[in-house]
Structure 1
Amino acid sequence: MAKRRPFGRVRKLPSGRYQARYRGPDGLDRPAPETFRTKREADDWLADMQTELRQGDWRDPDAAKVPFQKYAEAWVAERPLALSTAELYGILVRVHLVPTFGRLAIADITPAAVRTWRRARLDAGVGPTTVAKAYALLRTIMGTAVSDELIRRNPCQIKNGGTVHTPERPTASILEAFAIAEAGQARYRALVLLAAFCGLRWGELIGLRRQDVDLDAGMIRVRGSMSELNSGQRVYKAPKSEAGKRTVAIPSSVLPVIVRHMKQYAERGADGRVFVGAKGATPRRNHFNLLWHKACTAAGVKGIRFHDLRHTGNTLASHTSANTRELMTRLGHGSSRAALIYQHGNQEREREIAAAVDEMIVKALKRRPGPNGHAGGTDG
């Protein structure tokens, strides 16, 4: 017969092990999740449980029995995510997390299981960046489970497990950026130069409208970007942080190319698209990449991706007298917290930075021989 105790009770099982039971705050009779080798171990477990109840730390053990797949899918569905982010999270959950953790209860996911899963993903040839993103998502989901009081401790304990280690990318020189722009299709010349000397991202460039380009002031207003989903759908969205909303000055040496582009290729009307494909469609990244590689080959430039042009803009701006805050303003960097500081960048100071960048462009172009031995122009 089970022995009565001030809190809970312990009984010896036919196997010789001991079972501990207690009445939870919900009124239900609950057994310990495991049996014990000795009565002393069972007593100690009950003492710990009593302490948790007194301190208000008790968690319903049944709540953590929810399968990971159900919890993770609900986690993604409940959050106000951008479509592209929701799509990415859905793929990470479905392809990389559910096959291993899907049927496991939240409470049964252990640090050892997480370490084994991560190693298996890497050994299977999954890219380190993808594994890092999947791990970071798993850690965030399990962190929510801790906040929901389903589990006590996040099982994702791998130091820097969610850190993406990427090799330093090359930086295109001023002359290389102009060479690529001039070797490619004329309708994309302005796109390449704005990426290189204003630090605009692909999505920001494709999302530009005529009203965002002030040719008189030589300024571009970045209000959002165009994102392309795996389904092919394009979505215009606001920047991830307020710092992404910014006004960028165009270097004077590049401005004539932008003026010509607006006259020849940009759509009419305030809401007209600045960059349009030859058949009138918004350019797609995969199609443009083909043109990009052809232009790089024709220009004799190797190993440069389109996004690397942002490094060019960043490097040139950093060589001016701009401070960290001004550089972050120009490039649209910053967390939501930092955006309160960075989003109000001084336009006059932005023009000064652009002027300093322009001086470097002019000097570089003067060293490049043109058809008649003179410096090559930027408006051809």
Structure 2
Amino acid sequence: MATPAHLNRVALRGRGARSNATGRFETYRSESFDDGWTEADEAARPLTTIIQPMKSRTIIARNDSPDIGFNASINPYRGCEHGCIYCYARPAHAYLGLSPGLDFESRLFFKPEAGRLLERELSKPGYKPQVIHIGGDTDPYQPQEKSLRVTRAVIETLARFSHPFTIITKSALITRDLDVLGPLGKAGLVRAAVSVTTLDRKLARSMEPRAATPERRIDAIRQLAAAGVPVTVMFAPSIPSLNDHEMEAVLQRAAEAGATSAGYVALRLPLEIGDLFQHWLRTDHPDRAKRVMSLVRQMRGGAVNNSEWGQRMTGEGPVAEVMNQRFLIARRKSGLDAPSQRMDVGSFKVPARAGDQLTLF
């Protein structure tokens, strides 16, 4: 998979993918190349992010996967400008007729009616509350959230209903919402997870080009914990021979900042991500590309990926087992292995609206 010549270093600056190959559902596959007619100023033009509203009839998505910790989730955005090269949500962009490559991180969609749709769903007669996870696919605090405030509308709605939820991010923007998250955390209605994949700023810039720096994520953990929000640090993904050697250090720093629990996920490369990730490795880390992929295949039964439930999050074989044992030891030594407190589902209540008849008692 060759990088188009006109997608030079200027165009790719701040981007994770190194190509924009057609998605798997398209009849014809295409990829740009330089035919010699590209103007110099066009070749030097940075790739622009385009964000569009999308219509949704519902906002809560449900799943029956046995190896993730939630059944209901909300994703305020599709696509993610953070540009993490390993992101398992990339293949979903193919359903929109777009590329899981550069399109995924530059052609984004948001749900402007998320707060209203959520209020409608929570107000339905017979609705039974369960913990909702925010950000199961793409980051709810990517850069556009600062002005669009879609995630803010979602958590404000959940707060009005006293509805429990969890939220995951690798953005320091989550601290903007401490005024809502802090009281909810103290009430047992929210838990936050912050993804910290490396403490090496240079590696983070390469691997997660528009996400917050590692130090800002550690500081976000500190601020969340100080406000009363229980925080989990996620070392995800753990990539053998690239960032896995930092696992112990990341967990220790997070514990010192106030995190109370930890999790990890072994690198997953489903569908188009396999080619995208390997292309990125050869471009950004050519010295270790073969070694990384050899170890990945050892964790995935000789393939680039194994999507079987029960194995896709941790892998299999000796390499995966060593990674798992290291995590368990590091979690214990860092004091991040205490059982999580159950979240309060019983506080859920549909708030009164203007014009509602009051009850007698």
Instruction: Give the TM-score, by structure 1 length.
Output: 0.24
TM-score, length-scaled by structure 2: 0.25
Relative to its length, the structure with more helix (as a share) is: 1
Larger radius of gyration: 1
